[in-house]
Amino acid sequence: MTPDTDLLIIGGGPVGLAAAIEGRLAGLSVIVVEPRATPVDKACGEGLMPGAVAALTRLGVHPAGHTLTGIRYLRGTHTADHLFATAPGLGVRRTVLHAALSRRAVELGALIVTGRAGMVEQDETSVRAAGISGRWLLACDGLHSAVRRQVGLAVHRRTAGRRFGVRRHFRATPWTDLVEVHWGRSVEAYVTPVAEDVVGVALLGPARHDYGQTLDAFVALRRHLGDAEPLDPVRGAGPLLQQTVRRTAGRVRLVGDASGYVDALTGEGVRVGLAQARAAVGTLGDDVPRSNAAYEKAWTAATRDYRVLTTGLVAAAGSPLRRGIVPLAVRAPGLYGAVVERLAR
């Protein structure tokens, strides 16, 4: 039986839509299955690294946002700034980013349908989910990927001790063009300007902490916000750490957060997800085992810096070394800048 489409994408978040755009640019027919209405929101820091901005430009996606000139780490009286060396980043509300990607995907001819994956079945020539068959299926269904579990690629872990993210927007004029990372005792606060009068504040840390009380503990940040009006409810995501056995199972490929995730600490999830989407489409071929081996290799290359640097930083952040991270960045600006630039590519 002839498949309904070349590329069946489960999950129409930013990475799924980026994969749809990549597919259409490669001349493939594409169907995206997503249960939620556009635009889709998510708890995240909303700061796009320069590499992510460049990747979006390549796809023909130009979301409106606030220019970001670098990263600032703060703890107590210690402040470490690094300005991006080559190009600026962009603070973009997740809903704005999603809407821009959706418009581009539809413009290029991708079909977006409402639905859920349901049962995933495959044979030698096609894979079927949500009542649709495709030559390939890209699972872009996020941290808690149902497809990942079905095809046996998930690594199951206890949630105890794992980190979560919560985010809220405030009506406030940004006081800097930098992404600020305020380091607390066990929580980091990411402050991202996303418009001329809106900042997003994401808190990363252990489960079950009160957003308001935790935010109040960041005295300097609370002073900047003053009595700024909250624009939305607190939105959460997690647990952040997700691991996979591998990224391929026959004609199914895991892409984005579904393929594994370390932590949001380094703020480059979108950049890595876009790189994975490009690799997932670019390595498709008639020889399935060879094609999958090529994607596994490309996935490893695209995520290596993120996985190594983020894993190390998260380990330090959960140890007695945590108190020394910002002072070290102050004393060793060259090292701090090199790490930021490596992640910003």
DSSP letter string, 172-213: ---S-SEEEEEE-SS-EEEEEEEETTEEEEEEEEESS--HHH
The confidence score (pLDDT) of residue 94 equals: 94
Residue 50 reports pLDDT greater than 90: yes
H or E, element range at 154: strand 154-155
Q: How confident is the model at residue 266 (pLDDT cuts 50, 70, 90)?
A: low
The confidence score (pLDDT) of residue 241 equals: 77
Q: Answer yes or no: pTM beyond 0.95.
A: no
Q: How confident is the model at residue 226 (pLDDT cuts 50, 70, 90)?
A: very high
Cα separation, 238 vs 131, whole angstroms: 29
Q: What is the mean pLDDT of residues 128-149?
A: 95
Which residues have a Cβ under 8 Å from the Cβ of 166 and sit 6 or more positions away?
43, 202, 203, 211, 234, 235, 236, 237
Q: In the chain, pLDDT over 90 holds for what percent of residues?
A: 67
C-alpha pair distances (Å), 121 with each of 19, 29, 132, 285, 292: 21, 20, 10, 20, 18
Q: What is the mean pLDDT of residues 205-210?
A: 80
The confidence score (pLDDT) of residue 106 equals: 97
Q: How confident is the model at residue 316 (pLDDT cuts 50, 70, 90)?
A: confident
The confidence score (pLDDT) of residue 161 equals: 56
Q: How confident is the model at residue 264 (pLDDT cuts 50, 70, 90)?
A: low
Q: What is the mean pLDDT of the chain?
A: 91
For the CA atoms of 13, 15, 17, 20, what is the dihedral angle to 10 degrees?
-140
- The amino acid at residue 136 is W
Residue 313 reports pLDDT greater than 80: no
The confidence score (pLDDT) of residue 260 equals: 87
Chain segment 149-160, per-residue pLDDT in tens = 999 998 876 654
CB 253 within 8 A of CB 139: yes
Q: How many CA atoms lie within 13 A of 329 on its CB side?
A: 24
Instruction: Using alpha carbons, select from 41, 317, 344 the residue that is nearest to residue 178.
Output: 344
Cα separation, 273 vs 276, whole angstroms: 5
Higher pLDDT, residue 205 or 240: 205
H or E, element range at 270: helix 269-282
Q: How confident is the model at residue 10 (pLDDT cuts 50, 70, 90)?
A: very high
- Pairing mode, strands 89-91 and 66-68: antiparallel
DSSP letter at 130 equals: T
Q: How confident is the model at residue 239 (pLDDT cuts 50, 70, 90)?
A: confident
Q: Across the chain, how many H-helices and E-strands are there?
A: 10, 21
- The amino acid at residue 67 is T
The confidence score (pLDDT) of residue 57 equals: 97
Q: What is the mean pLDDT of residues 242-269?
A: 85
Cα separation, 246 vs 127, whole angstroms: 18
Cα separation, 142 vs 269, whole angstroms: 12
The confidence score (pLDDT) of residue 45 equals: 80
What is the rounded radius of gyration, in angstroms, for the C-alpha atoms of the chain?
Answer: 20
DSSP letter at 324 equals: G
Cα separation, 171 vs 150, whole angstroms: 42
The confidence score (pLDDT) of residue 201 equals: 95
DSSP letter at 126 equals: -
C-alpha pair distances (Å), 157 with each of 129, 219, 244: 26, 35, 11
The confidence score (pLDDT) of residue 267 equals: 65
Q: How confident is the model at residue 222 (pLDDT cuts 50, 70, 90)?
A: very high
